Amino acid sequence: MIVTIYTLFPNLVEPYLQEAILARAIHEGKLTVQIRDLRRFAGNASGRVDDAPYGGGAGMVIRPDVVTAALNEVTQDEPPPNETVLLTPAGERATQRTMEDLATQTHICLVAGRYEGFDARAESRFDRHLSIGDYVLMGGELPALVVLEAVARLLPGVLGDEDSHRHDSFSTGLLDHPQYTRPAVFEGEAVPDVLTSGHHANVAQWRRRTALERTAKVRPDLIDPKKLTPDERAWLTALQHNNNEDDA
């Protein structure tokens, strides 16, 4: 897969690709990342890419010709991108589903904004506008890296264990179950007995239930009762009933 990132600050993005799993994936050719400087399209010696907003107000707006030139350039790549994505807090909120969807493409182009944003005429040229959450950052560089990392770990062979992302939080529709490693007792707190019992079915049930319990407590909005077994629905109802009694 190819990921092309356009940014006004390539030096913010590049170091992130030089360590850990992303660096290995790139080295092994499982992923190609192209970082391109948007300022090449400034069209002036000073490298200015922005101008004051029509209608007045604070901040500067990145000119439409700059972004359009970048999109025209990447379209000439072989293969051209299947998806062009603008990172903006005004976009649709990205979820694990979004990342799974992007991970099926052969080439995605991510454009990181800065300042007050892009001229609306350039924004409309993108296939998607994505936000990584309901907060405003100083630019789209971190959001582009977030998308890159979330997508890269879904690509075949990037994580050591082929299967590991299938059990991730969100991929199952629930938050992940708790994990434990040695020592068996840490500061007086023991690992749950079931995990050392060697009984695989009980371990699987414990994991599913603790995942459900955690999700019900922290992110009840993620739970879709239709995706639970009747047993799980009954168990969850009993759990919530007990919790309500404890609160009373």
Catalytic residues: 89, 116, 153, 168
Q: CB 224 → ligand ADE: shortest distance, Å?
A: 26
Buried b (16+ CB within 10 A) or exposed e, 3-12: bbbbbbbbeb
Which residue, 90 or 184, is less far from ligand ADE as judged by CB? 90
Which residue, 81 or 143, is less far from ligand ADE as judged by CB? 143
Tell me which of 140, 174, 177, 212 binds ligand ADE, using CB under 6 A.
140
Do 62 and 119 contact (CB within 8 A), yes or no?
yes
- Whose CA is closest to 178, among 221, 215, 222, 150? 215
**Binding flag, residue 110, ligand ADE (CB under 6 A):** no
**Binding flag, residue 89, ligand ADE (CB under 6 A):** yes
Do 50 and 107 contact (CB within 8 A), yes or no?
no
**Binding flag, residue 132, ligand ADE (CB under 6 A):** yes
**Binding flag, residue 88, ligand ADE (CB under 6 A):** yes
Which residue, 141 or 213, is less far from ligand ADE as judged by CB? 141
Tell me which of 60, 137, 203, 216 binds ligand ADE, using CB under 6 A.
137
Cα three-residue angle 54-58-59, rounded to 5 degrees: 85
Judged by CB under 6 A, how many residues of this single chain contact ligand ADE? Answer: 13
Beta bridge pairs of residue 87: 112, 130
Contacts of 184 (CB under 8 A, 6+ apart): 190, 191, 196
Give residues in contact with ligand ADE (CB under 6 A).
Answer: 87-89, 113, 131-133, 135-137, 139-140, 143
